[in-house]
């Protein structure tokens, strides 16, 4: 069952107590894995596709995490048809209307001659009221994986600049 928060204060308290300053589980170790690990810390599972990552009150929020890479993967769509790029862009716009963004510190750790990564959340930020014109100018959409799908990415600073309001700012 996905955890729902009744208001922003409740979510802020949860984030302060359970996420910011804490080591992330390394359940998912891939592009976007840190975001999935945050979802796991909140819900005990990863939210499936085409579902909101987070619900606060009646508002849906998209969870994204960034670390050493300053680029965020927004989404991908498999169908390549006449209007599929337009539909894909609309899907990305709808998904990113409200953003819960987590800043992740990534470190290499050596143990017995083997290297692995550790992840620690060092900040949580929330943004709302996206400027869709600026968002559309800032995203980079391309065909990916054998020309069978569209993929969209955006630089972290460009993404933050697309929002009119910062709703939450927690950093250590």
pLDDT category of residue 2 using cuts at 50, 70 and 90: confident
Secondary structure (3-state) at 93: helix
Question: CATH for 4-171, among 3.30.420.40, 3.20.20.70, 3.40.210.20, 2.60.120.960?
Answer: 3.40.210.20
In this prediction, residue 13 carries a pLDDT of 97
Is 70 exceeded by the pLDDT of residue 32?
A: no
In this prediction, residue 80 carries a pLDDT of 67
CB 123 within 8 A of CB 172: yes
Domain ranges of the chain: 4-171
pTM (predicted TM-score): 0.90
CA distance 55 to 14: 13
Is 90 exceeded by the pLDDT of residue 99?
A: yes
Percentage of the chain beyond pLDDT 90 is 60
Give tens-digit pLDDT for 109-142. 888 888 888 889 999 999 999 999 999 999 999 8
Which residue shows structure tokens 């709703």?
167
- Number of helices and strands in the chain (H, E): 5, 9
CB 162 within 8 A of CB 138: yes
- Report which of 21, 108, 34, 30 is spatially closest to residue 66, judged by C-alpha positions: 34
Distances (CA, A) of 97 to 29, 92, 110, 146: 26, 9, 40, 29
pLDDT category of residue 30 using cuts at 50, 70 and 90: low
CA distance 155 to 143: 18
Average pLDDT over residues 43-64: 92
């Amino acid at each position: 069952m996905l955890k729902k928060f009744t208001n922003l204060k409740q979510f802020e308290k949860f984030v302060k107590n359970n996420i910011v300053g804490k080591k992330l589980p390394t359940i998912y170790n891939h592009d976007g894995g840190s975001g999935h690990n945050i979802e796991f810390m909140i819900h005990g599972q990863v939210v499936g596709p085409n579902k909101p990552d987070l619900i606060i009150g009646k508002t849906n929020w998209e969870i994204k995490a960034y670390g050493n890479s300053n680029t965020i993967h927004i989404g991908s769509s498999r169908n390549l048809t006449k209007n599929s790029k337009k539909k894909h862009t609309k899907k990305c716009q709808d998904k990113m209307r409200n953003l819960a963004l987590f800043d992740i510190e990534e470190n290499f750790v050596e143990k017995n001659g083997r290297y692995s990564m550790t992840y620690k959340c060092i900040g949580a930020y929330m943004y709302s009221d996206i400027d869709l014109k600026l968002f559309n100018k800032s995203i980079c959409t391309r065909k990916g994986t054998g020309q069978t799908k569209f993929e969209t990415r955006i630089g972290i600073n460009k993404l933050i600049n697309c929002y009119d309001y910062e709703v939450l700012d927690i950093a250590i």
